[in-house]
Amino acid sequence: MAVTFQSVSKRYRERVAVTELSLRVPPGERLVLLGPSGCGKTTVLRLLAGLAAPDHGQIDINGEVVATDGRNLKGPEGRGLGMVFQDLALWPHLTVGGNLEFGLKAQGVPATERRRRIGEALDLMQLQSYAEAWPGDLSGGQQQRIALARALLLSPKLLLMDEPLSSLDVELTFQLRQELLRLQGELGFTLIYVTHNLEEAFDIATRIVVMKDGHIERMGDVSEIRAHFQQRLHQLAHRANKNPVPRGAA
C-alpha cells in the first residue's frame, strides 16, 4: 500500500506538530520515523490513521485522497490499515480471544470465519494456548504479540507502529524486532514505525526519516543515516577534546 503526504501541516492550539510535510512511501517499504519526543512522529501516524485531520495539505493512500485541508474524507475503519500503540491498548476485561475477535465482529465476519482467523493469528504468534488467558496475566512480550496479532487480523496492507517496544528489556526487544521483520517479509505489508532508538531504527528500516520540530531534517537509507550520526558523534567527541572540562569543575 502506497502513502503520500503533500505539504501536510497540523497544529494543536499554539503548538505546531507537523509543518509542510511531504513524503511518499511505496508499497512494501519499512519506513522508520526517528526523532526525539515532540518532533511530530506520532502526529504523522495519527494523521495517516485518520485519528486527526490535517489543517493544510493532502494525504493519499493508494492514490485515493483520504484527508485534505481540515477534513478526513475517509475514517480509520475505511483505510485498510492496522495500528499498534505504545501502550498496546488491550482491553483488560476481554480474554486474548475476545481482544482478537472484537474487530472481526465489528466488521460482521461470521463466527466460523472469526474462529479460523483467530486460530491462525495465535499460531502465527506462537501463542496457540492463550486464547482464554487474560491480558493482565501475560508477560510484556506476550502482550506485545497479541497487540500485533490483533492489528494483523484484518489483513492490513499498511501497519503503523508507535514505539511499541519501548517498555521491554533489550533481549525481548531484539526478539520481537526479528519477529516483526519475519512477519513483514511473509505478509508484505507496508510498515511505518516510530521510534527514538537508533539501534531499533537501523534494525527495522529500509529507509529512515529523521524528524525535528515537526519537519523532515534528513531522509535516507540505513547506511546514509548511520554515517550521518557517526559523523555527528565524531564531531561532538572532537569538540569535547578541544574544550575539556577544567579539573575540579562541577
pLDDT per position as a tens digit, 204-222: 999 999 999 999 999 999 9
What is the distance between the alpha carbons of residues 190 and 3, in angstroms, rounded to a whole number? 9
Cα angle value 199/11/194 (rounded, 5°): 15
Looking at residue 245, the DSSP 8-state letter turns out to be: P
Give the Cα separation of 172 and 140 in Å (integer). 9
Select the more confidently predicted residue: 147 or 236. Answer: 147
Band of pLDDT at residue 246, cut at 50, 70 and 90: low
Specify the pLDDT at position 179: 85
**pLDDT digit string, tens, across residues 62-117:** 999 999 999 999 998 889 899 887 776 788 899 999 999 988 888 888 999 999 99
Kindly tell me the number of DSSP H helices and DSSP E strands found in the chain.
7, 11
Q: Is the pLDDT of residue 158 over 70?
A: yes
**52 confidence band (pLDDT: 50, 70, 90):** very high
Quick check: 235 pLDDT over 80?
no
* Domains of the chain by residue range: 90-155
C-alpha span between 216 and 213 (Å, rounded): 8
Q: Which residues contact 3 (CB under 8 A, 6 or more apart)?
A: 23, 24, 25, 48, 59, 60, 61, 158, 190, 192
Q: How far apart are CA 109 and CA 115, in angstroms?
A: 10
